[in-house]
Amino acid sequence: MEAAIEVTGLCKRFGSTVALDGMSFTVTPGEITGFVGPNGAGKTTTMRVILGLDAPDAGTAVVAGYPYQALRRPLTRLGSLLDAAALQPSRTGRNHLLWLAHSQGLDAGRVDAVLGHAGLGKAARRRAGGYSLGMRQRLGIAAALLGDPPALMMDEPFNGMDPEGIIWMRGLLRSLAAEGRAVLVSSHLMSELEGIADHLVIVGRGRVLADTPTRDLLAAASGDRVTLRTTTPARAAAALEHAGGSTVAAGDGTLTVTGLAAEKIVVLLGESAVPFSEVSAHRASLEEAYLELTRDAVEYRAEQAHGIPR
Amino acid sequence: MTATMTPERSDTEMADRDGFARLLHAEWTKFRTVRGWVIAMVIAAALTAAVGLYAASGPETGCQPVGPNGPIGPPAPCKPSNPVGPDGEAVSDSYYLVHQALRGNGSITVRVTSLTGRSAPGGGLAPGPNPEQNFTSGVQPWAKAGIIVTASTRQGSAYAAMMVTGGHGVRMQYNYTGDTPGLPGAVSAASPRWLRLVRAGDTLTGYDSADGTHWTRVGTVRLTRLPATVQAGPFVTSPAWVQAQNSALTAATAVFDHVSVPHAAAGAGWRGVSIRAHAQEASSLPGRFRAAGGTFTVTGSGDIAPAGPGPTNVGMPADDGFVGAFAGLIVVIVVGTMFITAEYRRGLIRTTLAAAPGRGRVLAAKAVVIGSVTFAAGVIGAAPVIPAGASLLRNHGNYVFPMSMLTEVRLIAGIAALLAVTSVLALATGTIVRHAAGAITAVIALTVVVYFFSVPLAVLPAGAADWLLRVTPAAGFAIQQYVPAYPQVNNVYTPQHGYFPLAPWAGLGVLCLWAAAALCLATVLLRRRNA
């Protein structure tokens, strides 16, 4: 399937700071792509380059096959939410959408349609200066949906949302992807994307650390560790090591086994008549996988912050 | 890759003809949905009107007629208003004329052998038996002596004249504003000047000659609706000496001989007449005429020329009411700047550029919207000031220089254009600086402050003020000038009297150049910078 958004080899420096260092990935229609990385990893800069707001030193970014600048009525190709606070405080939310609509040749009817969709209700006719952060996010979502675009890009959309808002947002993102749209969502917190991202682009230090389906990342991170509880750890360890596994005593009648699947362990222990009270396969969380992957990037930043030479 | 990188025509900006219309629509929506900006524009229009009318209601230079029981009636102009010339402009028309009627086509020829002058530095005649005791001799450069063909002896009549001048050689002048040079050099007995005017229908042709034999045509003019019988003959006049705020009346005396009117009506004789508003008119001295053996010695004082504000003309231009444009201008500069800097302050500029990636076109759309809105506000503000302000001034006994309907329209459109172009300059400066306070300060300094120090306060040396009003955006204020400056009229042509160093449209052109240059720089920076 053709990529909705494709960035290739983006490089960008701000003075002596390297913001992007060969950033490359694609965003596929019908999926939610999580764009994850610590603060300062280059997520926002990448999104700005995609929108043609920042010029890269090298590399290209295309939307539906074209550079963003070449798109006429670009909001009908890519809806984006970068900074929900970017509003004229004295203009009402509805009027904010109205000028955006007019810039794309759309009318007020479309504005009212997306306002309903974003659940802003009567607040739309109040001055945007009085909006809560959550209301601003909803207005930003409405602006992104205005052109009914096949691709959407949102920078930290969960910021400042209450739990109800987060649930609403996750449902909305899922339904947008289910309609066949490409959805790119950035976050510095993996937990926000857990359970909704189909694909993950994990970044650090301005480049991609992992670009993988969420399922594969989880499987790889979990490895094959199994936790075993038994009253006779020594016998259990002998039996399992004989079968090719390796064990580490975790104390208190607990063994961590690697190299053997949980089902195999149950069979082996049964054959050897070793009593056990629990055999459980370890499930890594996305958070752990993410921390594992980004540890270097975070350490690097910490080092820089403390001025420790590498 | 190459295939996908080539956009389809329908997807490109190049094929997007109505793209700019959408941008204009969006920017107009942006403007009208910020209530503060709309209110500010209403205030700008109201200030232009209100401050202008307030200023016009202030000055009272008139004199109140006094009866036995105190003042009677409203104040009236102390000085009679200027005569109005054939084209509706204010004119000076005071001179001494020796004339006879000339019926139908014909000609008049004279020789001028002398032109001398005196001036009264004290301002006029001294009391007592020797009224000219304080006079000093010396002829004014624009003292005039020659022959005139005029529709009548009433002030403001259509005319054509051939003359020698005190310092500008022979001239052919007509209908107050027309001026064509002839033979150079001063006149004397050794170097006399022969002058001739020939009437053929509505056409008058002037000739000059140094010897009465070899004639040169100086010019031909058409005077429409010239009556069949006109008045023709020798005349002399001498304009007031002016410098800064000072002026002094002057008089000139010329000697004519070889006076010849070949087709004069039988029995016609020469009659001398002082063409003046009344005997005590302040802008000229009384004249006289003596004929002896075909030689006429004529003394005259005054001028036959367009009249404008200056030390000798106490009247005021109606543009004193335009100070309101000034108050409006400050508001307009603030709104024009905020139209872009508010977007920078909130980061909204990124939303704008994501919706319309063509950055030059975004700025152009903003300029068109702010310029149009301001122009409309300027017209609404200026339209009542021009006629109402002039009538207010007149009601308070001030003399106001007349203006034609076309001039009124030009002034209203000009004031509105001044506001509109300045708002675009403010928008462009705001784009360059990206900071409201800095941009507003810069534009106000370059326009309002420069003007204020150069014109109403007049604290700058004349040369510096002149230079600033030529090269800074404040040159645009020249659009207020509606009484032109004439090189053949000696006057103090300073902004305080309503004369700017640049012509009205040229001054506005300088402001336009500033706005255009600022827009170009703003476009380059907007394109180059990360948003």
Q: Given an 8 Å threshold on Cβ–Cβ distance, is B5 in contact with A52? A: no
What's the rounded Cα separation, in Å, for the pair A159 and B246? 75
Per-residue b or e along A63-85, where b marks 16 or more CB atoms closer than 10 Å to that residue's CB: bbbbebebbbbbbbbbbbbbbbb
Residues A234, A141 within the same domain: no
Residue A93: closest C-alpha in chain B: B33
Which amino acid does the sequence have at B128?
G
Alpha helices in B133-177 (DSSP H): none
Tell whether A270 and A138 lie within a shared domain.
no
Report whether B46 contacts B54 (CB < 8 A). no
Give this prediction's pTM: 0.83
Number of domains in chain A: 2
**Closest residue, chain A, to B15 (C-alpha):** A72
Contact A98 B29 (CB under 8 A): yes
With beta carbons under 8 A apart, name residues in chain B contacting A67: 5
Its sign, for the CA torsion B150, B151, B154, B159, is negative
* Partner B contacted by A54 (CB < 8 A): yes
A228 and A164 share one domain: no
Q: Which phi and psi (to 5°) does residue B149 adopt? A: -120, 115
pLDDT in tens, chain B (531 residues): 344 444 444 444 444 667 899 999 999 999 999 999 999 999 999 988 887 777 777 666 555 555 556 555 555 555 557 888 888 888 989 999 999 999 889 999 999 999 999 886 655 555 556 656 667 788 999 999 999 999 999 999 999 999 999 999 999 999 999 999 999 999 999 999 999 999 999 999 999 999 999 999 999 999 988 899 999 999 999 998 887 667 778 899 999 999 998 876 666 689 999 988 765 556 667 788 998 888 999 999 989 999 888 776 655 555 555 666 778 899 999 999 999 999 999 999 999 999 999 999 999 999 999 999 999 999 998 888 878 877 777 777 777 788 788 888 998 999 999 999 999 999 999 999 999 999 999 999 999 888 888 877 778 887 888 899 999 999 999 988 888 889 898 888 888 778 889 999 999 999 999 999 999 999 999 999 988
The answer to whether residues B298 and B252 touch, using CB atoms and an 8 Å cutoff, is: no
Question: From the candidates A26, A72, A81, A131, which should be mutated to test the interface with B, based on the most B CB atoms within 10 A?
Answer: A72
Identify from A103, A127, A139 which residue to disrupt to test chain B contact, counting B C-beta atoms within 10 A and taking the largest count. A103
Q: Are A94 and A139 in contact (CB under 8 A)?
A: no
Give me the residue label for tokens 């991609």.
A208
Residues of A in contact with B530 (CB under 8 A): 48, 53-55
Residues of B in contact with A57 (CB under 8 A): none
* CB nearest B347 (choices: A86, A100, A143): A86
Minimal Cα–Cα distance from A238 to chain B, Å? 59
- pLDDT above 70 covers a percentage of chain A that reads 92
Tell me if chain A has a CB within 8 Å of the CB of B27: yes
User: Do A191 and A46 belong together in one domain?
Assistant: yes
Judge if A143 and A257 occupy the same domain: no
How would you class B130 by CB atoms within 10 Å of its CB: exposed for 0-12, middle for 13-18, buried for 19 or more?
exposed
Residue A15 has pLDDT above 80, yes or no: yes
Cross-chain residue pair A89–B346, CB shorter than 8 Å: yes
Residues A147 and A269 in one domain: no
CATH number at residue A77: 3.40.50.300
Domain residue ranges in chain B: 24-59+314-528, 91-306
| Binary contact (A70, B30; C-beta < 8 A) | no
**Confidence (pLDDT) at A306:** 55
Q: Which of A191, A213, A235 is the last residue of a domain?
A: A213
A-chain residues near B22 (CB < 8 A): 73, 102-105
Q: B-contacting residues of A 137-196, CB under 8 Å?
A: 143
CATH number of the domain within which A260 lies = 3.30.70.100
Question: How many residues are listed for chain A in this entry?
Answer: 310
- As for the ipTM of the complex, it is 0.83
C-beta separation of A268 from A240 below 8 A: yes
Q: Is residue A248 predicted with pLDDT exceeding 90?
A: no
* Contact across the interface for B531 and A85, Cβ inside 8 Å: no
Residue appearing with tokens 């020249």: B478
Residues A248 and A194 in one domain: no
Whether residue A286 lies inside any domain: the answer is no
Please give, one letter per residue, the 3-state secondary structure of A19-72. EEEEEEEEECCCCEEEEECCCCCCHHHHHHHHCCCCCCCEEEEEECCECHHHCC
Closest CB from B23, B33, B352 relative to A91: B33
Does the distance separating the beta carbons of A71 and B35 come in below 8 Å? no
Burial of B475 (0-12, 13-18, 19+ CB in 10 A): buried
Contact B284, B120 (CB under 8 A): no
So what's the pLDDT on residue B460? 80
Show the domain range for A155. 5-213
Q: What is the pLDDT of residue A282?
A: 72
- In A147-244, the DSSP E strands lie at 151-155, 182-187, 199-204, 207-213, 226-229
Same domain, A79 and A179: yes
Are residues A50 and A157 located together in one domain of the fold?
A: yes
* Chain center to CA of A137: 17
Closest residue to A83, CB basis, from B4, B343, B350: B350
Q: Does A84 lie in the same domain as A160? A: yes
Structural domain includes residue A161: yes
Chain B hits for A48, CB-CB cut-off 8 Å, are 350, 530-531
In a domain, A218, yes or no: no
Is residue A304 assigned to a domain? no
Strand (E) or helix (H) holding B442: helix B436-444
C-beta atoms of A103 and B350 within 8 A: no
Let me know whether A241 and A94 are in one domain.
no
**Under an 8 A CB cutoff, do B33 and A99 touch?**
yes
Single out the residue of A69, A286, A43 nearest to residue A153, CA to CA: A43
Interface test with B, best of A7, A88, A141 (most B CBs within 10 A): A88
Quick check: B437 contacting A, CB < 8 Å?
A: no
Q: Could you tell me if residue A155 is inside a domain?
A: yes
- Chain A interface disruption, residue of B351, B353, B530, most A CBs within 10 A: B351
Q: Does domain B91-306 sit in CATH 2.60.120?
A: yes
Question: In this structure, is residue A246 part of a structural domain?
Answer: yes
Cβ pair A80:B13 closer than 8 A: no
A21 pLDDT more than 60: yes
What pLDDT, on the 0 to 100 scale, is given for residue A281? 77
Which one of A8, A102, A155 makes the best mutation probe of the B interface by having the most chain B beta carbons within 10 Å? A102
Across residues A236-263, what is the average pLDDT?
83
Count residue pairs from A and B with Cβ separation < 8 A: 111
Q: Give the model confidence (pLDDT) of A147-204 as tens digits.
A: 999 999 999 998 878 888 899 999 999 999 999 999 999 998 888 888 899 999 999 8
In sequence order, what are the residues at sequence separation of 6 or more whose Cβ sits closer than 8 angstroms to the Cβ of residue A252? none
Note whether A185 and A114 are within 8 A (CB). Answer: no
How many Cβ atoms from other residues are within 10 Å of residue A296's Cβ?
Answer: 12
| A11 within some domain | yes
| Interface touch A90/B353, C-beta < 8 Å | no
Q: What is the pLDDT of residues A256-293, one digit of tens each?
A: 888 787 888 888 888 888 888 888 877 667 777 777 77
By the 8 A CB rule, do B111 and B170 touch? no
A103 vs B355: CB contact, 8 Å cut-off? yes
Using a CB-CB distance cutoff of 8 angstroms, which residues of chain A are in contact with residue B35? 90
Beta bridge partners of B109: B196, B260
SS3 content of chain A, % helix, strand, coil (to 5): 40, 25, 35
Identify the pLDDT of residue B63.
55
Task: Please tell me the distance in Å from A96's CA to the nearest CA on chain B.
Answer: 8
In this structure, the dihedral spanned by the alpha carbons of residues B175, B166, B312 and B387, taken in order and rounded to 10 degrees, is 20
Distance from CA of A130 to the nearest CA of B (A): 14
Cα distance between residue B422 and residue B440, in whole Å: 11
- A81 and A140 both lie in a single domain: yes
The answer to the question of residue A198 being in a domain is: yes
The DSSP code for B497 is: G
